[in-house]
Amino acid sequence: MVSKLTKPWLFLPPLWAHALSPLALRILHHITPPQNISWHALKWKNLFFPNPLGISGGIDKNAINVLDWQHLGAGFIEVGTVTPKPQPPNPGPILLRDTQHMALWNRMGFPSKGLFFVKKKLQRIKPQLKIPLFINIGKNRTTPIEEAHQDYHLCIKELHALADAFVINISSPNTPGLRTLFHPDRLPNFLNSICHTQPSSSFLLKLSPDLSQKELLTTLEIAVEAKIDGFIFSNTTLSRPLEGLPQEGGLSGKPLAPLSKQQLLWAKTFLKSFPEKLIISSGGILSAEDIQERLSMGAHLLQVYTALVFHGPFFFRKVSQVFSQPLKKGEINAH
């Protein structure tokens, strides 16, 4: 369990801490030296990752703190989820924190200032960005599921010049009907249409941790056939290993780790035949030991969210001190 005495922001209500974090990051940027962190560097396609640890989608939804995360030592950035039109969070409670179990619950539902706000932000800062940038995209809450592909197409069309890769998010549990796009009757046409929107772009599919092994392998087969370039394992879960949480909404942090690791093992076995595919592990990565474990399990890159809530924004620096002797550089073979 994390001590609040050494992490004063944990005394704040979670929604307050979440709202104040962008300002705190801006201040840290101006009062701390840049963290040029390099360990286990990786090359994939034409992208260079100075270290394999990045921020997960949902942290910087509107590209407010991209340069701040770079300054703090992230190896890559994922912004979003970005939706075509601006939309507020879901009504009612949207964020809870369980310090004892190092867990977060959220029911935000893609709150976004919209793709044109994000586009303007990224156009201004892209020349200063030295690490890869992923853009996580999703559909607006009011868009019928039958028309969901149109929202993804629009985001890709407007943002392709700014994204090093797009993260296709159809795995959030907080947008009604979204996960039905995983159904084998829908997924092939959906992914094929996505990948043909901008053939020069790279596309990563973010998976739900609640897929069974059979469902996961079917999804991977369809995605590989559609020429998806990589995968993120995984989004938040609808399962409830902890008591006292609402049934709706996604759970992340330490309770998500077993599901995320199980998916990684299932996927890695299947993806041995596709060594060019990028494998990103996310979910319950809270320590240097967790990072080493996921790398040893076959992940190329890693993403954190809950770790930053409970350990603070200097997590990248703390981890790099553990890996003070840089591991051998890696390169993923690409066709």
Report the catalytic residues: 172
Quick one: the chain helix, strand, coil %, rounded to 5? 35, 20, 45
Please state whether 87 falls in left (phi above 0), alpha (psi between -120 and 50) or beta.
beta
Q: With the CA atoms of 170, 121, 112 and 67 taken in that order, what torsion angle do they form, in degrees rounded to the nearest 10?
A: 70
Q: Write phi, then psi, for 315 (nearest 5 degrees).
A: -60, -40
Q: Give the whole-angstrom CA distance, residue 218 versus residue 183.
A: 9
Contact 310, 10 (CB under 8 A): yes
Burial 106-125 (b: 16+ CB within 10 A, else e): bbbbbbbbbbeebbebbeee
Report the candidate in 138, 58, 90, 100 with the shortest Cα–Cα distance to residue 246.
90
Structure token digits, residue 329? 């550089």
Give, in order, the Cα–Cα distances in Å from 231 to each of 3, 7, 105, 199, 224: 34, 33, 23, 18, 10
- Sheet of strand 47-49, all strands in order from the earlier edge strand to the far edge: 47-49, 42-44, 330-332
Cis bond upstream, residue 32 (ω within 30): no
Q: Where are the beta strands (DSSP E) in 250-329?
A: 250-253, 278-282, 301-304
Structure token digits, residue 115? 């793709």
Contact 134, 79 (CB under 8 A): yes
Collapsing DSSP states into helix, strand and coil, what is residue 215? helix
